[in-house]
Every structure is written in C-alpha cells, then in structure tokens.
Structure 1
C-alpha cells in the first residue's frame, strides 16, 4: 500500500488488477509489453489500445495491462480509499512503484527473466511510461509515450496552450459552436486525478485570452491553492515534476518514443522534436489523441500507419539490444 513510509502501514498490501494474455508470447523469450494504466478502469484502455496487441502478434510478446491504484477495482482501502488521509497514497510515485513491483514479480512467476520489458501508455498513461523508463531503467528497456504532455504538466510553456490549440483545430475544421465549451471535472474519476494534480501535476486550466473560444476560467495559482486545500487538505507543489521526473532536461535519457498527433490539443504540451538518436519524437500530421495506440482501421490516415511502422521498428531494435545486454551481464 505504501512503498516508501515503513512506519505508516508496515507491509500492508492491496489487490491490484491487471489483464494479461500470452496468446502471442514465445514463452520465456519474447518481450513483455506492459501498459501503464492511467486514470480509469483498465478495461477502458485495453479495449482502445489494439496496436499493442497487433505489435505483440508481430514480435511474439506477452501483454499486460496494469490498473492504476485507486481506479477500477484497484482500491487500496476499499470504500474508504477516497477518505482523508487514505487517499494521500494516490501519487505518481506510488503508482510507478506498483508497476515496477508487478513487473518484477510476474517475470519471476512466469520464468521470464530474459524477456525485455517495453512500456506503453497514452496521455497521463504515456507520462507514466516516460517516468518508468526514467525511474526504473533496470526494469524497463524502452517506452512508447503517446500524447504525453510531460512538459506542460511540469509547468513549461504557455498555460493557455491547450485552449488555444482546441480553438485552432476547431476553427480549422470550420466547426460552428452554438455554446461555449467547458472542461468536465465533476465525475469521481476526475476528482481523484485532480488530487494528484494538486501536489504533483501542474493544472493549467486557465483561459482568459479573447482569441480563445473558451469563457474565462480564472484558475490562478491562488485559486488552485484554495481548491487543493479545501478539497483534499494539501498544498500544491508546482515545481515537483521538474525535480522528480527531470522536467525538460531529458537529454541523458534513452529509448523513449514521444508520439503526438497534430490534431491533438495536448500535443504541444509534449515533446515534439527528437532529443537524441534514442529519444525520438514522432509527429502524426493527421493524428488525434494517441491515435497510434488504437487498433488498425481502414480509415486510418497514412501518417499514423507510418508512425506505427516506425514505432514497431524502434521497439524491435530495443528488444534486440536488451537481449544482448542481458547475455553480456549474465
């Protein structure tokens, strides 16, 4: 339940759900493709990430979709999980440690010591995939981070970027809006995600420029502090992602694909330019939010078909490199 404070809950555990298929796996040799679940029931992401299964069929991989703590059925304290202070263990760090432990234990159970692990994720899940590669490179050989706004959530760039890009895309498509749009944050899932945003992720929902189609949303730093204090009893740590997860100083990392679609308003909050030969940015001209993770479709634009092909080639190369490294170290 708590990977870091041994005096709070000792060795208390909880049941964490994961989905697994060995349908394509070349046992004890093929890679492991691990989806870093994000803010929702894990089935939602598994049913909308068909590319991972297609890639597993090509590369003879085991596939695991892991559910994020505090979502779906993975509730550390059952019905009390969203009470204070129990909900305080909903953090990025705890979730990453969950995944690191799950991968390690499953590799032991499945006699898969030689199987390289590649992590996948979209949106917030894509951020988690980046962080897994940064934090646990001893466990994870590479990451495909689709539509992961790791820069904007760390406080880099224009906080109104998302709204301006939505406006640009909508006007570009000549969509006539009959009433202003808003950001839906009233469901329970969103409230849970906002707890993480209070302490670890910059909430950039502020738009008051006359060129935006959105009404004024004065979610200033002061308003944010008030919300976080009143709702969750915590104070924001706006610079934490820059410290804990490298911010925009990623040049010494390796084996990460940052994919973004030009039609995705989150795209410009992510990495749009390659940073090194192994930190690859793939920009999908006709792509929407993590379109490349979805299963192949006859209506797919050529840009996403090419992106998936490139991703498959890079991942195959990482798997090969990791096998060489494993043999040399053993």
Structure 2
C-alpha cells in the first residue's frame, strides 16, 4: 500500500458561527454588536462545494410526539481529492474559514464535508420559518450543543454508509465554538464530539476553543486582560487613550460600535491581511495604535478613535458613512437563536426567554476536573491556541497526555528586547500564504504530522482486525 493510499481519509469539519457575546464585556460594559461580516458555507472557496440536505430529526433524545418532527439540515461536500473507500481515503469534517483543510485534503486523498449547525443559515426547523423557530423557549429548546453533536453523529454515519466508506476514518475540525462544537466560539464542538462520539471520529483538531471558560475554571477577566495586553504591547499611550475614552462617550450604541471594532480586531490580529470578520491589514492592532499615536491628531481623542474604528469598519475605503445603531443580522445567522444558545448553554447575560443552565456544560463535558477527565477518557485531540487571542485564557495551554496535545504559538523577540505574544483566533485554520511567519508554518506542520499518525494507526489497527477476522473464519 502506498503512502498516498494509506493517508487517504475523510476530513470532517463542524459548522460553526462566530461567537458574539461575552461573559465579561471587554473594554467596558457594552456588549459588542452582532457581527455582520460572518462566514457562511457558500463563501467557502477552493474547489467545488456541492450543497445537499439531510433529513434530520428535531429531538434525538426525547419521546414526545413533537420531537419526531424533521427538518432539512444543509451540508456542503467536496470530493475533488477523494480517493474513494477502496483507497483508504479519510473524511475531513470542517467548519468555515478553514482553508487549512482544503490545503490538507490532497495529501490525504480526503473527502471534505461541511455541516451547518441547526437553527442557523438554511438549517432551520419548524418548516424553515425563522420567526417560529426563534419565537420562544419551547422551540429554541431544541437549539443546544447536545442536539447539535447528535446531528453530526447521525449525519456522518449516514454519509459514510451512502459513500460506501464505513471503514474510512473521520477527523473533525473546529475553530472557537466550532472547536468545541459548531459555532465560532465554535472549536469546542470538535473536542466535545471526539469525547462524546469516539467511535465515529478518530481525532479532532480544536483550534482556539475556550473549553475552560465555564464554572469559573478560568478567570472571567482573562478575555479583557489579553485584549488590553495586546494593545499595550504596541503602545502604552494607545491603551491609555482607549481606556479614558469610555468616560467621554455617553451613548451606549457609540461605545458598542467602538468596542466591537476593538474586540474583533484583537481576535483577528493576524500576521497577514485577512477578511474573516472584516477586511483587515496585517497586524491590525498595530495599525490601530499607529492611528491613535498619530501626532497630527494632537489631543483630539475622538478623531483618534474614529480613525482607529475605521480600520475595522472601513479598511477597504468603501464606506462613506457609518450607521452606529445598525445591529442587524445581515447574514441571516439568527441573532436571537445565537443569543439563546450562548446564554442558555454557556454564559447567561440577559434575555427574557432564557432560563440559564450554567452547570450543564461542566456536568456534560467535565468541570474543574476536565483535565483529569480528558486524561482518563479522551485521546487524539489537538488544542491550538495563540496567546494573542482573547479566548486563549479559557483554552488548553498544556498537553494533557501523549495523545491530547496542546500547541501554543510561541513568543517572538523583536529588536532583541521586546517580547510579543503571537497567534490570533484560530490562525492555524486559515489559508496559508507566502507571508506566513515561521511559527505558523511550524504549527501547521506539527498538526499534519499528528493527524497523519492518527490515520496511519487507524489503518494498522483495521488491517490487524481484518486479518484476525479472516483467520478466525478460515
């Protein structure tokens, strides 16, 4: 068997949507606006993505008649590199903004699959009516990480059967909530999926997933502290101007408008130009601080902050006027659905339709003993975190075992004196470029090496079990 045949597998990513609420609001008390520039499945590039719909059950665990309803769950599939079930080809299940998977697929002869999270995009229960689906807690009660994980397990199993790929291994990928599960603070689902369904996925790459952001396992102030540290590392004056600006803004929507720009720029402070949440230059935090430190603006804090926010909202130069009160869901992501999902399952802020369940995630996936839980019951999980990412405060930063590996972006020395923490939000999952720094190239090489070892081990075990089966029946 050739190396190409051996490494031919299925890469699978979990569909995630970017998290847009915070337990402790950074840089102030105003929650950032609902992000308008989110990535939808149809925006995934690099090769033809064929859309399809899977008939999914509404409730995987209940026995009430209304739970037997079904809805159409959207998925995208790319078979360009698929080696086929007879060439030991893996399935890679992926999320949005995961160009790394497209670049990896040819090496593994992999099938790429993108599953959309229930209640988002076009995967809306209750006849596809968003108003009905998000109308009250009775309908939104079916929007949970537990149901979403079961969706993925059901659909993956069905897909492998239809593609005659029962023996093809599945590797799941996720960034943020996708790293955990499905929504961008969406990397957690990939790790959770591996824990809950180890017989379906042989491993998970969980990038920038704050799996420790529950039950006060990590500091509730870490998100804010990391953002502050990032801006201060570029300019102490920059940080001071931002800090004192909150007292001069008496309009909540203005604070929210500015805070959104600062928070999301801190998260996407990539070393190369990007277009994740908004078109941005390389190292956008540095660019923001240069705008604040611009001597031509003298002591005009408002002019400085306007120039700063414009880097996030108008770097491309196509906007002539900002609507500070625009908090719309321009991509149809389901603002109320996400708010319910986040508040109910993760951190409750304020929503009249939510009955918070703050202890459920620690009970389901492990609380303060999550590291011990992972060590005893988990395996084949990669946790990547960049220390410049505000979510890294709730991430796994130290390897837990030989097979549960933490990869952390390293510190880099500038001018022989200054140390800067590197690595923004799931930077490893983005498309590679010729300008990628060496540390990022090394991270991806290490991830590929680990995933290759999972797949190789899977096929060795499969060959061994097949041989034993033939011997016992001879």
CA contact (8 A) 1:30 1:62 kept: yes
- Indicate yes or no: 2:99 matched with 1:50: yes
- Indicate yes or no: 2:407 matched with 1:282: yes
| Alignment partner, residue 6 of structure 2 | none
Offset, 1:241:
1.1
CA contact (8 A) 1:154 1:201 kept: no
Aligned residues: 295
| Alignment partner, residue 229 of structure 2 | 168
- Indicate yes or no: 2:154 matched with 1:101: yes
| SS of residue matched to 2:112 | strand
| SS of residue matched to 1:273 | coil
Offset, 1:163:
0.7
| Alignment partner, residue 319 of structure 1 | 455
In 2 relative to 1, CA 118–154 (structure 1 residues): closer, same or farther, beyond 3 Å? Answer: farther
1:223-270 Cα offsets, whole Å, 9 max, x none, are: x4xx24x1x2x3212121111012323212100000011211111211
1:274-300 Cα offsets, whole Å, 9 max, x none, are: 000000000013211001000111221
| SS of residue matched to 1:118 | strand
1:144-172 Cα offsets, whole Å, 9 max, x none, are: 00000010145311111101110011111
| Alignment partner, residue 444 of structure 2 | 308
Normalised TM-score (structure 2)? 0.59
CA contact (8 A) 2:205 2:381 kept: yes
CA contact (8 A) 1:263 1:287 kept: yes
Moved more, 318-327 or 76-85: 318-327
- Indicate yes or no: 2:151 matched with 1:31: no
1:296-316 Cα offsets, whole Å, 9 max, x none, are: 112211111000000001001
Normalised TM-score (structure 1)? 0.84
Moved more, 77-86 or 170-179: 170-179
- Indicate yes or no: 2:388 matched with 1:263: yes
| Structure 2: gaps of 5 or more residues | 1-57, 180-187, 247-254, 261-325, 411-421, 467-474
| SS of residue matched to 1:275 | coil
- Indicate yes or no: 2:94 matched with 1:60: no
| Alignment partner, residue 200 of structure 1 | 345
| Alignment partner, residue 365 of structure 2 | 245
In 2 relative to 1, CA 251–202 (structure 1 residues): closer, same or farther, beyond 3 Å? Answer: farther
| SS of residue matched to 1:143 | strand
| SS of residue matched to 2:152 | helix
Moved more, 169-178 or 247-256: 169-178
| Structure 1: gaps of 5 or more residues | 38-44, 204-223
1:176-200 Cα offsets, whole Å, 9 max, x none, are: 5554464659555443222122222
Offset, 1:107:
0.2
| Alignment partner, residue 118 of structure 1 | 171
Moved more, 95-104 or 183-192: 183-192
Offset, 1:108:
0.4
CA RMSD of aligned residues (A): 1.9
CA contact (8 A) 2:218 2:394 kept: yes
Structure 1: how far apart are the matches of 2:215 and 2:150?
20
| Alignment partner, residue 413 of structure 2 | none
| SS of residue matched to 1:99 | helix
| Alignment partner, residue 2 of structure 1 | 59
| SS of residue matched to 2:66 | coil
| Alignment partner, residue 251 of structure 2 | none
| Alignment partner, residue 81 of structure 1 | 133
Moved more, 10-19 or 273-282: 10-19
Structure 2: how far apart are the matches of 1:202 and 1:319?
36
| SS of residue matched to 1:254 | coil
Structure 2: how far apart are the matches of 1:119 and 1:267?
20
